[in-house]
């Protein structure tokens, strides 16, 4: 009777948590804080893998959820156990004071308590990332953490929350539906960006023909994401530290990126403070010297006379061969061929890019200006929102739209999905 | 130790004593369905109820088996056939799968549960 009672308590919240319904209720509650601590309990290590391997796998499992939710997870090895949000451990049969007894090898391999702890049956043959036999500990951990966060089982094909273990290759990821399910509980990832740009790559196909491809990047503070436009998500495993992917430029808080691309020029610049760097695409690092032997970084005032610093953002207009620099409520149009600001500038952003809907405008201090090849449009980002600049196509559909007008703002998270922070400890 | 011969232990053989009991009979299936939320009828730990209670338990079990079969894309025969038992024996998470439908939907009343102790 005591065991039955404790089993029923599995469906109820742990003391101190939010009151909630049973597992498959639509009104499931969730953790209310954004950073959650976890620990692999010292007296409950698996006998099958090294402790480091177990911790690494759990760290990765938590990170996978963090990459698609506003939640961050940090491993906590020092705080009193009662203050750790999620504890994980291995056991056999009767284990860890748990009312649910494991059944030995086969059938039940783990269980979890919503907003609580995770137990793994150490009679199962759990295997690490590199193995394609046994039961993937990573896959089981991701599944059980899903329960801890509030997700129930589903029989939807492809979901990580299917109740039965599906043997697959070692690589698996959270698909669109699993992401949306967890985001219904915790919301989408939002936040401002330092800069957003498309990086052009020229490649030759097997026939020797030059093809142009682009990759979309989002920068925020000291890390970055590659956004896969065709998959409507960021690259698996992002964000990454700026330091690892972009050598030679400042390691955080980039102000702007500009790609000057004409018939004769193909130059990429990063701006921060009063300086700028030119990036060497072939060597995949910043130039250390310019053509005249001068060293990088250079002063913005030297390379772009008439442009103030620090900047808010900038973008290059290929049709006009102008770089638009933004600072506060002003925009500067810089002619790259004559190397000077157009005589009619600076002008108010609201005049050059007027609001289509009155008062629906960023007005000043734009975070990022971005020309998207995927959308053939220019976007202005500020805070969690973006404004789209009226394009030729928009004007064809509605000729009354002002040239270069700004369409009403929308949430950035509704167009670029899952650009999510992770805990700083997960960046290494 | 558990016996293995390969370097990566991929051929690890658990001892027969540590293997989960296969779900191969009615009682084990009842326990499974109850444990994972498909049935309200608990496993018979004591003497089986007689008379009409037996029929209601059987009917409830059939419904539970059908629900489980439908969820697992098996023919919803209500019988504990081989594919259904295979599905029950697959490695799985220990969290219950589902909540029972509201009492009004059940066609027969469930068997009364054993008391859990003093009322709070």
Residue of B nearest to A5 (CA): B116
For residue A68, pLDDT beyond 90: yes
Give the span between the Cα atoms of A28 and A17, in whole angstroms: 12
Measure A104 CA to nearest chain B CA, in Å. 4
pLDDT at A170 (0 to 100): 52
Measure A147 CA to nearest chain B CA, in Å. 8
For residue A27, pLDDT beyond 50: no
Residue closest to A57 by CA, chosen among A144, A163, A124: A144
For residue A9, pLDDT beyond 60: no
For residue B109, pLDDT beyond 90: no
Residues of A tagged active-site: 144
For residue A171, pLDDT beyond 90: no
Give the span between the Cα atoms of A225 and A6, in whole angstroms: 45
Give the span between the Cα atoms of A164 and A166, in whole angstroms: 6
Measure B110 CA to nearest chain A CA, in Å. 17
User: Helices H, strands E: what count in chain A?
Assistant: 8, 26
- Within A287-364, where are the H helices? 300-303, 349-352
Per-residue pLDDT, averaged over A227-249, amounts to 95
This model of the complex carries an ipTM of 0.79
- Determine how many CB atoms are found less than 10 A away from the CB of residue A405: 19
For chain A, the average pLDDT equals 90
For residue A85, pLDDT beyond 60: yes
Residue of A nearest to B73 (CA): A155
Per-residue pLDDT, averaged over B43-55, amounts to 44
pLDDT in tens, A123-143: 998 988 777 778 999 999 999
Residue A357 to residues A84, A350, A401, A406: CA-CA distances in angstroms? 49, 12, 10, 8
Higher pLDDT, A83 or B106: A83
Contact A153 B93 (CB under 8 A): yes
Contact B93 A108 (CB under 8 A): yes
Beta-carbon contacts of A51 under 8 Å, excluding residues fewer than 6 positions away, are: A40, A45
Give the span between the Cα atoms of B10 and A125, in whole angstroms: 8
Give the span between the Cα atoms of A418 and A412, in whole angstroms: 10
Cβ atoms A225, A421 nearer than 8 A: no
Q: Is A163 an interface residue toward B (CB < 8 Å)?
A: yes
Residues of A within 8 A of B89 (CB-CB) are: 106-107
pLDDT at A23 (0 to 100): 41
Q: Is A79 an interface residue toward B (CB < 8 Å)?
A: no
Give the span between the Cα atoms of A278 and A286, in whole angstroms: 6
Residue closest to B29 by CA, chosen among B74, B59, B5, B64: B64
Best to test chain A binding among B33, B94, B100, B119 (most A CBs inside 10 Å):
B94
Residue of B nearest to A132 (CA): B10
pLDDT in tens, A185-231: 999 999 999 999 999 988 888 888 888 889 999 999 999 999 999 99
Residue closest to B100 by CA, chosen among B92, B91, B109: B109
Q: Is A108 an interface residue toward B (CB < 8 Å)?
A: yes
Confidence of residue B16 (pLDDT cuts 50, 70, 90): low
Measure A108 CA to nearest chain B CA, in Å. 5
Beta-carbon contacts of A339 under 8 Å, excluding residues fewer than 6 positions away, are: A304, A305
Q: Is A50 an interface residue toward B (CB < 8 Å)?
A: no
pLDDT in tens, A384-413: 999 999 999 999 999 999 999 999 999 999
């Amino acid at each position: 009777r005591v065991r039955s009672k404790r089993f029923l308590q599995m469906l109820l919240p742990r003391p101190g948590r939010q009151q909630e319904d049973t597992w498959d209720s639509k009104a499931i509650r969730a953790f209310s804080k954004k950073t959650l601590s976890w620990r692999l309990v010292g007296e409950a290590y698996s006998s099958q893998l090294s402790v480091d391997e177990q911790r690494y796998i759990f760290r990765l499992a938590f990170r996978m959820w963090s990459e698609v939710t506003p939640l961050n997870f940090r491993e906590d090895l020092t705080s009193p156990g009662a203050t750790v949000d999620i504890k994980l451990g291995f056991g056999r049969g009767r284990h860890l004071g748990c009312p649910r007894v494991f059944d030995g090898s086969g059938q039940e391999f783990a269980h979890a308590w919503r907003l609580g702890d995770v137990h793994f049956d150490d009679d199962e043959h759990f295997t690490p990332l590199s193995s394609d036999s046994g039961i993937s500990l990573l896959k089981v951990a991701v599944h059980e953490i899903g329960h801890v966060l509030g997700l129930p089982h589903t029989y939807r094909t492809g979901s990580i929350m299917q109740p039965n273990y599906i043997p697959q290759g070692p690589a698996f990821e959270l698909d669109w539906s699993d992401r949306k399910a967890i985001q219904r509980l915790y919301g989408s990832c939002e936040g401002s960006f330092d800069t957003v740009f498309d990086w052009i790559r020229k490649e030759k196909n097997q026939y020797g023909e030059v093809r142009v491809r682009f990759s979309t990047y989002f920068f925020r503070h000291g890390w970055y994401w590659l956004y896969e436009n065709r998959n409507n998500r960021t690259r698996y495993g992002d964000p990454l530290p700026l330091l690892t992917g972009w050598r030679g430029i400042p390691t955080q808080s980039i102000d702007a990126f500009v790609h000057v691309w004409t018939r004769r020029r193909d130059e990429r610049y990063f701006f921060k403070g009063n300086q700028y760097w030119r990036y060497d695409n072939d060597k995949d690092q910043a130039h250390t010297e310019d053509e005249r032997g001068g060293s990088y970084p250079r002063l913005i005032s030297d390379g772009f006379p008439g442009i103030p610093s620090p900047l808010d953002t900038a973008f290059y207009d290929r049709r006009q061969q102008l770089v638009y620099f933004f600072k506060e409520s002003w925009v500067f149009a810089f002619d790259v061929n004559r190397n000077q600001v157009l005589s009619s500038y600076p002008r108010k952003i609201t005049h050059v890019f007027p609001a289509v809907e009155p008062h629906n405008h960023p007005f000043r201090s734009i975070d990022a200006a971005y020309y998207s090849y995927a959308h053939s449009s220019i976007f202005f980002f500020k805070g969690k929102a973006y404004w789209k600049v009226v394009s030729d196509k928009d004007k064809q559909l509605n000729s009354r739209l002002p040239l270069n007008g700004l369409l009403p703002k929308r949430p950035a998270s509704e167009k670029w999905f899952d650009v999510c922070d992770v805990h700083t400890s997960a960046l290494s | 130790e558990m016996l293995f011969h390969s370097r990566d232990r991929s051929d690890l053989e658990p001892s027969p004593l540590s293997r989960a009991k296969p779900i191969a009979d009615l009682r084990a299936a009842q326990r499974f369905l109850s444990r994972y939320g498909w049935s309200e009828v608990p496993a018979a730990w004591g003497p089986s109820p007689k008379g009409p209670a037996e029929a209601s338990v059987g009917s409830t079990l059939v419904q539970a088996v059908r629900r489980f079969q439908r969820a697992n894309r098996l023919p919803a025969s209500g019988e504990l056939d081989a594919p259904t038992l295979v599905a029950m024996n697959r490695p799985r998470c220990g969290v219950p799968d589902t909540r029972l439908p509201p009492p009004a939907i059940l066609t027969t009343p469930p068997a009364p549960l054993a008391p859990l102790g003093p009322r709070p």
